[in-house]
Chains A and B, each alone.
Chain A
Amino acid sequence: MTRRQIDWTIATLLGVAIAASLSASGVPGWIRYLGQLSTATALTSAGVMILLRAGLLSFGQGLFYFVGGYAVALTTKLAAITDAFVVLLVATISAGLVAVILGSFLARYRGIFFSMLTLAVSMVVFGIATKVRLFGGSDGLNIGLMSYAGYRPRGADAQWSGFVFCIWVWAAFSIATHILLRSRFGWLIRAVADNEVRVEYLGYSVKQIVWVAYTLAGMLGGAGGALAGLSARHVDPQFAYWTTAGDFIFVVLLSGQASILSPAFGAFLLEVLRSYASALFPDQWQSVFGAMMLAIVLFLPVGLDRLVTLLWSMTRKAVSRRSRSLAGGVVS
């Protein structure tokens, strides 16, 4: 088999990114803004998904969201760097470094201990951030307008280019993550959740695999936080608060973990839900979330993406049956 098969996930990611970029100036601003926020949530949730595949529920991904967001705010404020690519890189690397350090001891824990420790660390950072003047205390920090490799858009152009930037960063990070998840290492992450003993007897350290997965999830969280900061042009300690991390978990529970597309879909759904629910039921929008969660857990515990994968495999079967019967027709 030398024919290279099309990777439909990558094709979809590129398709969505191109469609979004082309329609960016046409669609109403609020939809664009929802899409932009979704990219930030999607990347961070993808990190949650990676850890969930390893059997680990992180309640602390808000920490990396925080690190990414504040890395952007502080680099623009202190170093006067406004290039979006540079600050994104700084954010991703900073979050990665924090994850490497934390992962060195968190990788030993499983189950509820892992969840509680990730939550604890992120809450400690939240507590500190609200007190530190450099971080703007509980008010947070504002982020100025960005430039993109020398291009300095202003006014409506700035909003448009911010959106396109976020979309392509999301697409690029998603493709990279997808390539990783479909690799042998991607299977190894799953293997850890299935049987740690066997992984060790196959010559690999479970702790190291978890550590790497945690670091990757951290970097995705950092990139997500950076996009969130750039979109809202503001960051505050709430990024590290545990309910923020809860949103990312909600996304993955809602969407499932079948593909890198799942958290993107879930994230968009979350942002749409949040804006509609808070408009329709200003005081009770969280109970809408609760009802939604309950319905998912009761009726589709693997997540909404199961519906998509079922449809997909059905169409593929139908297509291959048709092409086979066509080929048969030619022969006879």
Chain B
Amino acid sequence: MTDLLHCTGIQCRFGDFVATKGIDPSVKHGEIVGIIGANGAGKTTLLNIISGYLKPTAGRVMFRGTDVTGMPPRALARRGIARSFQVPQLFASGTARENMMVALSLLVDPRTSLLRRFSDRGLFDKAQRLLEDYRIGEHADAVVAHIPQGVRKLLDIAMATCASPALVLLDEPTSGVSVDEKNDLIGRLIERFRKTSTSVIFIEHDMEIVREYASRVIALYDGRIIADGDVAEVFADRDVVRYITGAGVAPLSADGCHAPA
């Protein structure tokens, strides 16, 4: 079976600065890939390239066997690549439900429905159900500019993924979410995507979360992949320990439990 996403020689240059230096990440169907790396390692640049926001200066992005390099986000969104943002990208003047309704009517319904009435009962109920699904239904009537960051984060993800995409890119889904909500939030998300065997790439700084939920980890350092493999393997890698996780994260012991610190 071909990979769902297969990149070859992705390079992205901003003037003299090279953000990604010819990397070849790939994702199989149903995989949950965690991307780790220090700030400036090229994590978000990679997501920007895969989702079509940036055009790589060299290399190709293959999605479901077709070359999608340089396609704009709107084309990729329709092909099944969804992306959430580190800073939630919402329609600030609307309510949470209105945001969800817009997302549903644009991503899920056909283009011909664009002239249908916006305040439509079916659309309204569908949006409400989705918000309840993500347990943010109580904020449905609040204007987005006034709701808490954690809720905005979830709303952003809910909007991006409402059309059941094949590949979901999550840029730091837990940043800005309080420590005690973090695990619960990502747990529910991953469970959701596992159930539909949706492939996920997520960028995460919390190594415990990566360890818990990723089925594979890609470690980026200075625009290069320094380790790529299953969780235990990557966290045990000497370069990963030196450049990313540091001594703070204990390597896994053989039986999969945390070694005593």
Partners in one complex: yes
Interface of A with B (CB < 8 Å)? Answer: 1, 180, 182-188, 190-191, 193-195, 197-205
25 pairs across A/B with beta carbons < 8 Å?
A183-B117, A183-B118, A184-B105, A184-B115, A184-B116, A185-B114, A187-B94, A187-B98, A187-B101, A187-B102, A187-B105, A191-B91, A194-B93, A198-B89, A198-B159, A200-B77, A201-B73, A201-B74, A201-B160, A202-B77, A202-B102, A202-B107, A203-B75, A203-B77, A203-B106
Query: Are B92 and A205 interface neighbours, CB within 8 A?
Result: no
Is there an interface contact between A195 and B92, defined as CB atoms closer than 8 Å?
yes
Are A194 and B107 in contact, with the CB atoms below 8 A?
A: no
- B6 at interface, CB cutoff 8 A: no
B117 touches A182 (CB 8 A): yes
Contact of A182 among B51, B77, B106, B118 (CB under 8 A): B118
B interface majority secondary structure: helix
Q: In chain A, what residue has the closest Cβ to B81?
A: A201
Q: Is the CB of A200 within 8 A of B119?
A: no
Q: A184-B118, A186-B118 are in contact. List 10 more A-B contacts (CB 8 A).
A: A183-B118, A188-B114, A190-B94, A194-B93, A198-B91, A200-B74, A202-B77, A202-B103, A202-B106, A203-B77
* Total number of B residues with any Cβ neighbor in A under 8 Å: 33
Chain B residues, Cβ within 8 Å of A201: 51, 73-74, 77, 82-83, 89, 160
CA distance A260 to B85 in the complex (A): 35
Asked if B40 is at the interface (CB within 8 A of a chain A CB), the reply is no
Known A-B contacts A191-B102, A194-B94, A198-B90; the reply to A205 vs B74 at CB < 8 A is yes
Write out the residue numbers on chain A whose beta carbons fall within 8 Å of the beta carbon of B192: none
8 closest pairs, A vs B, by CB?
Answer: A194-B91, A202-B106, A198-B89, A203-B77, A184-B105, A203-B78, A185-B114, A187-B118
Q: What residues of B have a CB within 8 angstroms of the CB of A183 in the complex?
A: 114-118
Contact A1–B91 (Cβ < 8 Å): no
- Give the residues from 27 to 66 in chain B that come closer than 8 angstroms, CB to CB, to chain A: 51
Q: Any chain A CB within 8 A of the CB of B113? A: yes
With A188-B102, A190-B93 already in contact, the answer to whether A203 and B107 are too (CB < 8 A) is yes
For residue B121, CB closer than 8 A to chain A, the reply is yes
Contact residues in A for B90 (Cβ distance below 8 Å): 194-195, 198
Q: Which residues of B contact A202 (CB under 8 A)?
A: 74, 77, 102-103, 106-107, 159
User: Complex Cα distance A187/B120, Å?
Assistant: 13
Contact partners of B113 in chain A: CB under 8 A: 184
C-alpha spacing A191/B92, complex, angstroms: 9
Docked-complex contact B115 and A185, CB < 8 angstroms: yes
* A195 near B118: Cβ-Cβ < 8 Å: no
Set of chain B residues within 8 Å of A191, measured between Cβ atoms: 91, 94, 102
Q: How far is the CB of A310 from chain B (nearest CB, A)?
A: 17
In the complex with contacts A190-B91, A202-B107, A1-B121 CB distance below 8 A = yes
Chain A contacts of B98 at CB under 8 A?
Answer: 187
Cβ of B72 < 8 Å from any Cβ of A? yes
Set of chain A residues within 8 Å of B159, measured between Cβ atoms: 198, 202
Residues of B within 8 A of A204 (CB): 74, 106
Q: Which residues of A contact B107 (CB under 8 A)?
A: 202-203
